[in-house]
């Protein structure tokens, strides 16, 4: 309800914007006629037209999801165009000329039929098209929302609320008459500055997205010890959203009393209801499960993806909880939502489930249906659900394992009608890449190799997207990297075309990991790792030997360096003895 209210109020405020000017002559042309037969049908036509455009935008946003990288660039271009329309009315006029021309033709057709309801409605359709400059930023938000959550009725209703707000302010202007029109003219100078400021902000955001700052910077921050602050902010946002949702007038009092009793008993408020588990393309280790089937069980839903280092470090705890509390009524469900295209291959996920010794049910959520049902945005993400099908706690990211296990104990005790007993906490023996990160000495963050999200790339040749090119490493400083040899850099990964190519990274962390794959032909790719120009010796990772030798046999995360002594700044090099390898992302720990 809050979102609809905000959309409505945003529409009301468009009356002070200069982009409302194309609409005003047609609105005030109905000022001297009966409101119900002239202005009202016209405003309804305007709302209907705008809602139709919103629906098309949402469908376009859903297509952008399927288009993946193409959709990202199209969205960047679209947002840039919207920012330009806000910055300059002249640019807005050029970009919206087709819609304005069509609206003008419709308005001329309706001009001679002033007493006719149908003509007034047609004039409203015209104003809806003429209003395109005002609609630009909002349509950009619709495309973004559709890309994240899929096209749905809600996006159309939000745009309808926005248009209804604008129609309300225009209706008041018509009823109030010429004095309001004059005041609006006086306000346009301020509105013009606000519009230009919004245009600058939109274009700045587009530049940040195009440069990969939206992912690279935030990903790097996730490695710092900010989890407590992040969790507090997320809790506040999540709580505000839940407080405003899912309670009707008929059950609000009873629901509030029941929630208060539960919070008093366990200290865990009710955050929402168990969303649907429908939409998985396949289930592993189980038949498909539903929220209804799981009533009476305490459920932990874990969103993960198998090459994500944060997920890998969390899995030992989730697996231990599933084993320890299974007989007491806990059901753990892993929802595998892919980040990279190779993680959509079901055989790859099956192999990862086997390698990680996961015995609990795993839903393969390749279409992000369950992800959207939960409104999730994070890997890993844990949702704790009580025996009555209510979300009682959540945690995003790795860490805080003791608190999470205490939540499980409380919900199990609540389901059994008793108090939570102190049964001790799990202490999994996590080794290799699954071991906890050395946060105190961590100065390097995540870096993607594919051009869609790449950062800190220093090869002097620059990236030739989707084309073979000979690269040289250059001179990387801390947290910079480069390629050597003949590579083709694609949106998600770089592919080595000839043997002998290498990747160099200057880093400072205990652990260095790299997600690698053997390429389309699946042939083994041998490689040699050096640290500061020599074999790593005792500083080798779990996927190579002390001489630095290893092989890429499947697409997954490889641990290549684990510093055994003092953690300091080092230069990492991996040289491939065979062609075809694919490199995706560096992570550190």
Give the mean model confidence (pLDDT) for residues 251-275.
62
At 396, list the tokens. Answer: 């995003």
Query: Cβ neighbours of residue 237 under 8 Å, at least 6 residues apart?
Result: none
Give the mean model confidence (pLDDT) for residues 176-198.
54
Q: What is the 3-state secondary structure (H, E, C) of 150-190?
A: CCCHHHHHHHHHHHHHHHHHHHHHHHHCHHHHHHHHHHHHH
Pairwise pLDDT comparison (88 vs 191), residue with the higher score: 88
> Which pLDDT score, from 0 to 100, does residue 157 have?
72
Q: What is the pLDDT of residues 195-216, one digit of tens each?
A: 566 566 556 655 654 554 443 3
Pairwise pLDDT comparison (562 vs 65), residue with the higher score: 562
> Which pLDDT score, from 0 to 100, does residue 164 have?
80
At 422, list the tokens. Answer: 């102190």
Give the mean model confidence (pLDDT) for residues 487-515.
96
Pairwise pLDDT comparison (483 vs 234), residue with the higher score: 483
Does residue 140 surpass a pLDDT of 60? no
At 159, list the tokens. Answer: 């745009």
Homologous superfamily (CATH) for 439-588: Galactose-binding domain-like (2.60.120.260)
Give the mean model confidence (pLDDT) for residues 554-562.
96
The Cα 274–Cα 260 span in angstroms is 19
> Which pLDDT score, from 0 to 100, does residue 47 have?
72
468-471: long-range contacts (C-beta < 8 A, 24 or more apart)? 468/497
| CA nearest to 307, candidates 266, 327, 337, 274 | 337
Of all residues in the chain, what percent carry a pLDDT higher than 70?
59
What is the pLDDT confidence band of residue 63, given thresholds at 50, 70 and 90? very low
Strand partners for 529: 574
Pairwise pLDDT comparison (427 vs 97), residue with the higher score: 427
> Which pLDDT score, from 0 to 100, does residue 172 have?
75
| CA nearest to 501, candidates 586, 582, 447 | 582
Give the mean model confidence (pLDDT) for residues 459-484.
94
> Which pLDDT score, from 0 to 100, does residue 562 have?
96
Does residue 469 surpass a pLDDT of 90? yes
Strand partners for 390: 273
Give the mean model confidence (pLDDT) for residues 411-420.
84
Strand partners for 513: 559, 587
Give the mean model confidence (pLDDT) for residues 11-32.
57
Give the mean model confidence (pLDDT) for residues 129-150.
46
Lowest mean pLDDT among 116-120, 161-165, 551-555: 116-120
What is the pLDDT confidence band of residue 281, given thresholds at 50, 70 and 90? very high
Does residue 338 surpass a pLDDT of 80? yes
Q: Thinking of the domain 237-434, which architecture would CATH place it in? A: 3-Layer(aba) Sandwich (3.40)
Domain spans, the chain: 2-210, 237-434, 439-588
**Average pLDDT, rounded, for the chain:** 76
Does residue 575 surpass a pLDDT of 60? yes
Looking at mean pLDDT, say which of 96-105, 210-219, 342-351 comes out highest. Answer: 342-351
CB 506 within 8 A of CB 571: yes
> Which pLDDT score, from 0 to 100, does residue 264 have?
42
Pairwise pLDDT comparison (310 vs 203), residue with the higher score: 310
Give the mean model confidence (pLDDT) for residues 442-468.
93
Give the mean model confidence (pLDDT) for residues 219-227.
36
Lowest mean pLDDT among 395-399, 422-426, 540-544: 422-426
What is the pLDDT confidence band of residue 35, given thresholds at 50, 70 and 90? low
Does residue 242 surpass a pLDDT of 50? no
Lowest mean pLDDT among 208-217, 285-294, 301-310, 451-460: 208-217
Of all residues in the chain, what percent carry a pLDDT higher than 90?
49
DSSP 261-277: HHHHHHS----EE----
The Cα 528–Cα 581 span in angstroms is 13
The Cα 224–Cα 446 span in angstroms is 12
| CA nearest to 173, candidates 165, 164, 181 | 181
Looking at mean pLDDT, say which of 127-141, 179-193, 345-359 comes out highest. Answer: 345-359
Give the mean model confidence (pLDDT) for residues 429-435.
89
Does residue 494 surpass a pLDDT of 90? yes
At 9, list the tokens. Answer: 């109020």
Q: Is 246 left (phi over 0), alpha (psi -120 to 50) or beta?
A: left
> Which pLDDT score, from 0 to 100, does residue 182 have?
52
Pairwise pLDDT comparison (42 vs 110), residue with the higher score: 42
Q: What is the pLDDT of residues 374-389, one digit of tens each?
A: 999 999 999 999 999 9
> Which pLDDT score, from 0 to 100, does residue 305 have?
96
What is the pLDDT confidence band of residue 417, given thresholds at 50, 70 and 90? confident
Lowest mean pLDDT among 70-74, 90-94, 284-288: 70-74
> Which pLDDT score, from 0 to 100, does residue 197 have?
63
What is the pLDDT confidence band of residue 552, given thresholds at 50, 70 and 90? very high
> Which pLDDT score, from 0 to 100, does residue 61 have?
41
Does residue 353 surpass a pLDDT of 60? yes
Does residue 142 surpass a pLDDT of 70? no
> Which pLDDT score, from 0 to 100, does residue 29 have?
56
> Which pLDDT score, from 0 to 100, does residue 12 have?
73
Give the mean model confidence (pLDDT) for residues 346-374.
96
């Amino acid at each position: 309800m809050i979102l609809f209210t905000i959309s409505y109020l945003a529409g009301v405020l468009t009356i002070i914007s200069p982009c409302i000017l194309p609409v005003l002559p047609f609105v005030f042309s109905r000022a001297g006629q009966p409101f119900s037969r002239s202005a009202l049908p016209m405003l309804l036509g305007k709302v209907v037209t705008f809602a139709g455009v919103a629906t098309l935008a949402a469908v376009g946003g859903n297509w952008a999801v399927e288009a993946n990288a193409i959709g990202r660039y199209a969205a960047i271009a679209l947002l840039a165009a919207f920012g330009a329309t806000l910055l300059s009315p002249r640019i807005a006029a050029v970009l919206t000329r087709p819609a304005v021309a069509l609206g003008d033709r419709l308005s001329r057709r309706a001009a001679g039929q002033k007493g006719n309801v149908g003509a007034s409605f047609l004039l409203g359709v015209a104003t809806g098209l003429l209003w395109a400059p005002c609609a630009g930023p909002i349509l950009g938000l619709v495309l973004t929302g559709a890309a994240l959550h899929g096209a749905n009725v809600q996006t159309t209703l939000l745009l309808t609320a926005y248009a209804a707000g604008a129609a309300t302010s225009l209706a008041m202007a018509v009823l109030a008459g010429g004095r309001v029109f004059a005041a609006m003219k006086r306000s346009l100078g301020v509105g013009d500055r606000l519009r230009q400021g919004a245009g600058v902000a939109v274009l700045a955001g587009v530049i940040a997205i195009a440069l990969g700052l939206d992912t690279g910077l935030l990903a790097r921050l996730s490695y710092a010890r900010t989890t407590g602050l992040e969790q507090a902010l997320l809790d506040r946002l999540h709580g505000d959203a839940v407080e405003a949702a899912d309670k009707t007038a008929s059950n609000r009092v009873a629901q509030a009393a029941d929630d208060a009793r539960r919070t008093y008993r366990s200290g865990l408020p009710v955050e929402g209801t168990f969303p649907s588990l429908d939409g998985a393309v396949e289930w592993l280790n189980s038949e498909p499960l539903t929220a209804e089937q799981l009533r009476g069980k305490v459920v932990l839903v874990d969103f993960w993806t198998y090459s994500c280092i944060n997920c890998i470090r969390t899995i030992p705890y989730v697996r231990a909880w599933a084993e320890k509390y299974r007989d007491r009524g806990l059901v753990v469900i892993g929802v595998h939502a892919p980040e990279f295209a190779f993680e959509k291959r079901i055989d790859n996920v099956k192999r990862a489930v086997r390698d990680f010794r996961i015995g609990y049910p795993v839903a393969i959520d390749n279409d992000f249906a369950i992800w959207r049902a939960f409104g999730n945005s994070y890997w890993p993400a844990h949702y704790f659900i009580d025996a009555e099908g209510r979300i009682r706690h959540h945690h995003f990211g790795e860490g805080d394992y003791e608190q999470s296990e205490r939540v499980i104990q409380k919900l199990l005790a609540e389901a059994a009608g008793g108090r939570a007993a102190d049964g001790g906490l799990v202490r999994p023996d996590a080794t290799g890449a699954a071991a906890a990160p050395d946060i105190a000495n961590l100065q390097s963050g995540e870096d993607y190799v594919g051009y869609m999200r790449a950062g800190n790339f220093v090869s002097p040749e620059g990236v030739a997207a989707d084309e073979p090119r000979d690269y040289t490493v250059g001179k990387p400083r801390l947290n910079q990297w480069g390629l050597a040899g003949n590579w083709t850099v694609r949106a998600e990964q770089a592919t080595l075309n000839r043997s002998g190519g290498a990747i160099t990274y200057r880093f400072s962390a205990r652990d260095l990991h790299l997600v690698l794959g053997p390429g389309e032909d699946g042939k083994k790719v041998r490689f040699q790792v050096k640290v500061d120009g020599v074999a790593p010796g005792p500083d080798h990772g779990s996927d190579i030997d002390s001489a630095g030798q290893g092989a890429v046999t499947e697409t997954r995360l490889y641990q290549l360096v684990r510093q055994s002594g003092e953690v300091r700044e080092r230069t990492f090099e991996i040289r491939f003895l065979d062609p075809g390898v694919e490199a995706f992302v560096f992570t550190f720990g």
